Amino acid sequence: MKLRDNLYNISGVQQTPESVTYSIQLNRNCIIYEAHFPGMPITPGVCIVQIAEELLSDYLQKPLQLTNIRNAKFLSILKPTDHAVLVHFKAIKQAEGTVSAQAVIDDGEDTVYAKISFTCNDV
């Protein structure tokens, strides 16, 4: 199941030669939040990882499949709010049929939600 346009929507993209940052809005009405957890919704870690994979795929304009997570740290609870969530990518490296990247998910101020280093294969 794709999470884009269901769990989240892209509200902006900023690129530099070394990195890209997506601004996303979480959809508090998504069915995922009804189950995780009723009355106190939080974004599951597996969904945070999938958001990173989908956004990297969007940036590279090609389908990707997650194959390896080298490191994943979930540092703060990510709740659906009216504030944008930023997903920063750096150290994007492409080799034959694979892509590796580092993602930091934060609120643009003081709160870091997650840091993920992962590898995907081209699909």
Residues contacting residue 43 through CB under 8 Å, at least 6 positions apart? 7, 26, 32, 33, 36, 78, 79, 80
pTM of the shown model: 0.96
**In this structure, which amino acid lies at residue 100?**
S
Residue pair 117/109 in contact by the 8 Å Cβ criterion? no
Which domains are seen in the chain, by residue range?
8-122 (3.10.129.10)
One pLDDT digit (tens) per residue for the chain, 123 residues? 899 999 999 999 999 988 999 999 999 999 999 999 888 999 999 999 999 999 999 999 999 999 999 999 999 999 999 999 999 999 999 999 999 999 999 999 999 999 999 999 999
